[in-house]
Amino acid sequence: MEKIIYALWRDASENRARFNARLLGEVTDALAAHVFGLRLNLQDAEVERGTSPRMASTQPQMDAVIQLWSPSANDPARAPVDAIIGGAAPRYAAWLASESTVLPNTLHPPVTGRRTEGFSQIVFLGRPPRLTWEAWRDTWQRHHTAVAVDTQANFEYVQNLIVRPLTYGAPDYAAMVEECFPYAALGDEAVYFDAVGDSAKLAENQRLMAESCARFIDFDRIDCLPTSQFDVKRIV
């Protein structure tokens, strides 16, 4: 079984709400027959007004992310899925990923077909040219991981190491991270950094997180977007 991550861009002439409704309806219905597991992350009305970190090095930025678990990511095996996604969006990109669930969501477990509690922050990361691949991975997974858990109010934290791009012209990302936060963290940094009522702790957590991120993130190649998470089909 292999994990594939798709980023989708809608046609600018299509209303975002209509695009999201199609993805949650006919598109995921069609995809479900081909995969073991299926998760959808949407930029929708629930998250569009939030002030949590937003960064966009890809222009235009992707509108949705589909994560799926398939018997094979090889081109012939993936063709039916590509056809469905290609019919749903005028532009898409796909990557093969190795998933590591650092912090499973036991606080607000996803319910199939329903929006997960809070919001999901999706971050696509590039590797800084100054770091070798192994130095970058070691800094991210061996050293940064604990900082991300200790300084934030995330209740799910999944690291996706990009193995290789699967589509021509896919942005050169090294990883995709998904973190779930309480809904209030969308607009309140004290909630986001797990420091409600403690200004000193807020400042310290912000400092620690910023310093850790600076060690391994290429800020010229980063896309950070809040989304609503929907688990459409759970792996059993």
CATH number at residue 120: 3.30.70.100
pLDDT over 90 for what percent of the chain? 93
Considering the entire predicted model, what is its pTM? 0.95
User: What is the three-class DSSP state of 121?
Assistant: strand
Spatial separation of the C-alpha atoms in residues 155 and 39, rounded to whole Å:
17
Instruction: Count up the domains in the chain and report the number.
Output: 1
For the chain, give the mean pLDDT. Answer: 95
What are the tens digits of pLDDT across the range 101-131? Answer: 999 999 999 999 899 999 999 999 999 999 9
Cis upstream peptide for 60 (omega within 30°): yes
Position 236 scores a pLDDT of 67
For residue 53, is pLDDT > 90?
no
Domain around 139: 2-233
Position 122 scores a pLDDT of 97
What are the tens digits of pLDDT across the range 8-33? Answer: 999 999 999 999 999 999 999 999 99
CA distances from 108 to 36, 71, 128, 235 (A): 22, 28, 34, 17
